[in-house]
Amino acid sequence: MATPAVRMFRRLEGLFCVYKPSGVHWKLVRDSIETNLLKVLNATPSQPLPQEVRFLAQPSTETEAPKGLTLSATSVPVLSKHPLVSGPEFQNIQVGVGHRLDAFSSGVLVLGVGNGNKTLNDLYRTRVTRDYTLEGEFGTATDDFTHTGGVVERSTYEHITQDKLERVLAMLEGANQKALLMYSNVDMRSQEAYEMAVQGLLGPEGKSAPILTGLRCIHFQPPNFILEVQCLNETQKYLRKVVHEIGLELRSTAVCKGIRRTRDGLFTLQDALTRHHWTAADITQAIRQYHSSKKHRKRSQSPAKKPALKTSEDVTATQQNEANEEAATRWFFFVLFIWLDHTFLGDAPHIRPILFI
């Protein structure tokens, strides 16, 4: 029979996301959440101690003669199961972290508890993109590409206009779109490659170089500018380097003042828990929300055969991501042979390793 603590733990299993503030190592976030959860789990009122029947010798007074041992059956609590003896029920819980965020960046950080860690693994083996907002400033170049680093060079930026910035971003985006095609393992001479290219489904499977699938400028006020980036397989240091290289392409210099992850797969800033909400109650609610939205998604796409085989040409990037992630959750929660039915992907060699989870 599960103890109340274990029942509460079962309610806690799943995925949720938090807002990691900048200046904090991701491990501290994970540790503090684990500590909060442990505190609450171990504070659940434990079941009353089971009783056992023991034959105890009655205490005999001095006056009675020690003629044989009189044992009497008494029901005593099992002391070995007392929390003070065995320790708290949960010493540690498996809290896993999804894509990491380094100390300089902030934003959505996906965490998984218990069984959710397995989903985390599967989810991140598919091609899931992440959205970032990069704040940059022209005029300086530093050794670690941030505004807190040691200044390497300073240069003018009066010649930079939004039009020139757009041209550089278009060039970068073109190069990254080409990289998407180059890193995909599909044979370019096949009809399948053409179909996937039309729908925008070509891309790297598994590890690859960082690729920016979308890049645009949402605010421009020299010397400051803000870029919105959608990327795959990236690190935050790479994104800061991208800001630095944009400065170089514009014949000037640039540093990154802030990186903020606004979306990681299907988790957005709206679902992220801020520091004051890193309590077990809020986390349980977030996980419940995640489970219900997952059921919603499963129900809404069960009539459709495969979400990615849309014939319309306006498949947006988020729809592609949703298709990938829904596909991932389906793989975990449905029987695997459903996917083998799809002849479209049935003979693509790169899908097979994922089916062998």
Catalytic annotation, residues: 102
* 154 lies in the site for another protein, by CB under 8 A: yes
Q: Which one of 52-60, 191-199, 238-246, 323-331 is the stretch in contact with another protein (CB under 8 A)?
A: 191-199
Among residues 330, 259, 324, the alpha carbon closest in space to that of 127 is found at: 324
3-state secondary structure of 263: strand
* 289 lies in the site for another protein, by CB under 8 A: no
Contacts of 123 by beta carbon, 8 Å cutoff, 6+ apart = 15, 98, 265, 325, 328, 329
Bridge-based pairing of strands 130-138 and 254-264 is antiparallel
Nearest approach, Cβ of residue 103 and another protein (Å): 14
* 181 lies in the site for another protein, by CB under 8 A: yes
Contact pick of 2, 43, 71, 188 for another protein (by CB under 8 A): 188
Alpha carbon separation from 86 to 2, 43, 81, 114, 226 (Å, rounded)? 17, 15, 6, 22, 55
Say how far apart CA 294 and CA 3 lie, in whole Å.
Answer: 27
Contact pick of 7, 54, 219, 251 for another protein (by CB under 8 A): 251
* 25 lies in the site for another protein, by CB under 8 A: no
Contact present, 259 and 239 (Cβ < 8 Å): yes
* 162 lies in the site for another protein, by CB under 8 A: no
Exposed / middle / buried, residue 100 (Cβ in 10 Å: 0-12, 13-18, 19+) = middle
One character per residue 125-144, x = contact with another protein (rule: CB under 8 A): -----------------xxx
Among residues 42, 20, 15, the alpha carbon closest in space to that of 30 is found at: 20
* 214 lies in the site for another protein, by CB under 8 A: yes
Considering beta carbons, is residue 19 or 138 the nearer one to another protein? 138
Footprint (CB under 8 A) of another protein, residues 229-248: 230
Contact pick of 220, 301, 318, 339 for another protein (by CB under 8 A): 318
Angle between helices 162-183 and 236-249 (to 10 degrees): 130
Exposed / middle / buried, residue 153 (Cβ in 10 Å: 0-12, 13-18, 19+) = exposed
Q: Which one of 14-22, 59-67, 250-258, 289-297 is the stretch in contact with another protein (CB under 8 A)?
A: 250-258
Contact pick of 108, 168, 280, 323 for another protein (by CB under 8 A): 168
* 312 lies in the site for another protein, by CB under 8 A: no
Query: Which residue type does 113 have?
Result: V
* 198 lies in the site for another protein, by CB under 8 A: yes
Contact present, 180 and 320 (Cβ < 8 Å): no
* 170 lies in the site for another protein, by CB under 8 A: yes
Nearest approach, Cβ of residue 167 and another protein (Å): 5
Entry field: residues in the chain: 357
Contact pick of 98, 112, 116, 200 for another protein (by CB under 8 A): 200
Which residues sit at the interface with another protein, rule CB under 8 A? 142-144, 149-156, 158-159, 164, 167-168, 170-171, 173-175, 177-178, 181, 188-191, 193-195, 197-200, 213-216, 230, 249-252, 313, 316-318
